[in-house]
Amino acid sequence: MQAVLDSLGSAVGAAEAHGCLCGALCAREGFTTPEWIAELIEAGTSGRLDDQSQHMLQELHRETLESLQAQDCEFAPLVPDENVALDERVEALAAWSGGFLYGIGAGGADRRIAELDDVGEVLQDFSEIARARLDPLETADAGEVAFTELFEYLRAGAQLAFDELAPLRAVQPRPGVVVH
């Protein structure tokens, strides 16, 4: 994923791009792969998307939507695995959270989201997580525990937002579409 984004010249990292996709899928029914790609390319337009890269992004879009729709809680934010340094994983969680919030807006969400108490609370928490940084005074074990808790919260919060926003998502018009 990161290699595809780099080839596009995008300033968006893989975690942030996935967060953007997830937020947009929560906000609007029918958020398409081309719309998501346009968001990624707008962030940096120096590259070109080849067929293989486009297919990979389409598959990630499809898999992400399916995991959000699944009832078995298989959804997970796209962040580096435990082989990557903890500070980089925390940065990825923060970027994913910021991307999710951006995606909610890019998906065309409106103010009615604020009326949904649970979703509003999740979005507020996500805005706090978007500023997360590793505490240099924290032990490695405590940092891992905190990372796991934040990861699980993002996973559950995104799933909750997807489920709770279903009624609004179904009637949310595509951006640029005039509803009379």
pTM of this prediction?
A: 0.89
Domain boundaries, the chain: 2-171
Phi-psi region of 53 (alpha: psi -120 to 50; beta: other; left: phi over 0): alpha
- Give me the residue label for tokens 């706090």: 128
Q: What is the pLDDT of residue 63?
A: 96
Which parts of the chain register pLDDT below 70?
42-48, 110-111, 114-115, 172-180
Give the integer Cα–Cα distance in Å for 103 and 106: 5
Q: What is the pLDDT of residue 179?
A: 41
Statement: 2-171 belongs to CATH 3.20.20.140: no
CB atoms within 10 A of CB 122: 23
